[in-house]
């Protein structure tokens, strides 16, 4: 057994622009144990909640990639393997843990992949999908069917413990099919559903403005959504946006996903890495999260090989050398779609820092490219998203507060959603 030296957590809080705050005296210290935190939340918040308030601000949650549950229904003309079904009623496509085991993982990959033709991504022929849990409080508590991979559970429990909280009214999930991205028809439909959900939450809470809460890819989706709706609508329905670990400028990790790795880190004994890589190259959302200019300059190397270096300026060459003939066309479709300018709503940015994060990759031998796993060069970030991408929201005029958590325990890309200090800050925002 190895031991790990725990680095003390440090928190960097930037100056807050004019906004109403709940004082620290109103919110007591939160113990580091998550279980004790959730158990005590009822009693703590009964004490700290402003007296005489009829309700609280409703919260609508926009998740990151791989966090939404997707169901599928099959009516296929053929099957990829003799043991895979051609027809089925609705079943859980993502994430059903037993589907990740052989040989079922081959059937899953066949149904999860996307088709691409004439500038349009779609489900594979014979596969119909839908996202579950939209508008509910607990739709994002867990990622998987066995409830082993916790996601927004701690956040939801804390929010529902607030006096006046109503399940499926004051706390509501807005999951989406993360395989798609703007400018797809599916994303436009999602933006309309999200708009309707926000208006419904506003109406059901006595015309109380809504707090948007996003994580990871959800930050990029929310930023694009806020650019999609008119300012008058934002002024009417949105109180503020709380962004956690937003992947605003893309992530270098996605380069490895596309080149050699795939979207799921499974041992080869369970699933072929190259099968997962082939699947990743067919998913629209992966192109959406690749590093973008000008966040990365045109001369910064993302991937190095003995024969050639690759940057944001020659993605076309990278896809050609990878043998993905339509890869650059797919990237071109989504490259200019993310909107990361000022959202024109009050924004709170939370992210991690001081964690080794993929900054670039390199191959020592040309023969290893692209099928072998490259070596990695690390830089600062939250373990998944580089610092420069996370910090885009730091510079918006609409940003009221920035909080950075140092170290893996407090600020790692996924762990930050269960950080008691972050949850305490979120409660203060919802009660302010």
Picking from 257, 302, 303, the residue whose alpha carbon sits closest to that of residue 280 is 257
SS3 of residue 62 by DSSP: strand
Q: Which residues have a Cβ under 8 Å from the Cβ of 184 and sit 6 or more positions away?
A: 120, 121, 284
Which neighbouring-strand residues pair with 174? none
Picking from 247, 249, 256, the residue whose alpha carbon sits closest to that of residue 296 is 249
Q: What gap in Å lies between CA 334 and CA 203, rounded to an integer?
A: 34
Find the angle CA(17)-CA(22)-CA(23) to the nearest 5 degrees.
95
Which neighbouring-strand residues pair with 280? none
Choice among 389, 413, 414, 421 that is catalytic: 413
Contact predicate 177/70, CB 8 Å: yes
18, burial (CB in 10 Å: exposed 0-12, middle 13-18, buried 19+): exposed
Q: Around 117, how many Cα atoms within 13 Å sit in the side-chain half-sphere? A: 5
Choice among 110, 382, 414, 421 that is catalytic: 382
Which neighbouring-strand residues pair with 117? 120
Distance between first and last Cα of the chain = 46
Neighbours of 17 (CB within 10 A): 11
Task: Respond yes or no: is residue 413 known to be catalytic.
Answer: yes
Neighbours of 310 (CB within 10 A): 22
Contact predicate 62/222, CB 8 Å: yes
Choice among 137, 216, 243, 360 that is catalytic: 216
Residue 194 structure tokens? 């999200």
Which neighbouring-strand residues pair with 355? 381, 382
Which neighbouring-strand residues pair with 210? 238
Catalytic residues: 216, 382, 413
């Amino acid at each position: 057994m190895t031991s790990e030296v725990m680095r003390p957590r440090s928190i960097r809080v930037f100056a807050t622009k004019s906004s109403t705050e709940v004082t620290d005296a109103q919110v007591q210290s939160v113990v580091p144990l998550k279980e004790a935190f959730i158990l005590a939340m009822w009693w703590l918040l009964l004490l700290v909640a402003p007296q005489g308030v009829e309700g609280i601000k409703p919260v609508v949650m926009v998740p990151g990639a791989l966090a939404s549950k997707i169901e599928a229904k099959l009516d296929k003309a053929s099957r990829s393997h003799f043991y895979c079904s051609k027809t089925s009623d609705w079943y859980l496509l993502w994430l059903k843990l037993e589907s990740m085991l052989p040989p079922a993982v081959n059937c899953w990959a066949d149904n999860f992949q996307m088709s691409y033709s004439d500038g349009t991504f779609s489900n594979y022929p014979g596969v119909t999908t839908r996202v579950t849990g939209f508008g509910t409080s607990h739709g994002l508590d867990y990622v998987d069917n066995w409830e082993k991979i916790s996601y927004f559970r701690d956040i939801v429990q804390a929010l529902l413990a607030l006096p006046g909280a109503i399940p499926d009214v004051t706390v509501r999930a807005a999951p989406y099919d993360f395989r798609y991205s703007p400018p797809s028809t599916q994303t436009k439909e999602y933006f309309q559903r999200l708009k309707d959900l926000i208006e419904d939450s506003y109406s059901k809470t006595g015309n109380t403005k809504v707090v948007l809460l996003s994580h990871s890819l959800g930050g990029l989706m929310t930023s694009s959504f806020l650019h999609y709706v008119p300012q008058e609508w934002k002024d009417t329905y949105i109180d503020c946006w709380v962004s956690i670990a937003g992947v605003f400028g893309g992530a270098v990790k996605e380069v490895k996903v596309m080149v050699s790795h795939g979207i799921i880190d499974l041992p080869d004994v369970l699933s072929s890495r190259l099968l997962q890589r082939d699947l990743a190259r067919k998913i629209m959302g992966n192109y959406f999260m690749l590093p973008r200019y000008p966040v990365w300059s045109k001369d910064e190397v993302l991937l190095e090989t003995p024969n050639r270096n690759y940057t944001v300026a020659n993605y076309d060459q990278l896809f050609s050398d990878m043998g993905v003939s339509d890869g650059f066309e797919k990237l071109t479709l989504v490259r200019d779609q993310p909107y990361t300018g000022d959202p024109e709503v009050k924004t709170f940015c939370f992210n991690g820092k001081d964690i080794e994060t993929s900054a670039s990759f390199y191959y020592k031998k040309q023969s290893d490219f692209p099928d072998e796993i490259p070596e990695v060069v690390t830089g600062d970030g939250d373990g998944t998203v580089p610092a420069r991408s996370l910090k885009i929201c730091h510079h918006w005029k609409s940003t009221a507060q920035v909080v950075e958590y140092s170290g893996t325990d407090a600020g790692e890309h996924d762990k930050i959603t269960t950080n008691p200090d972050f949850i305490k800050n979120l409660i203060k925002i919802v009660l302010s």
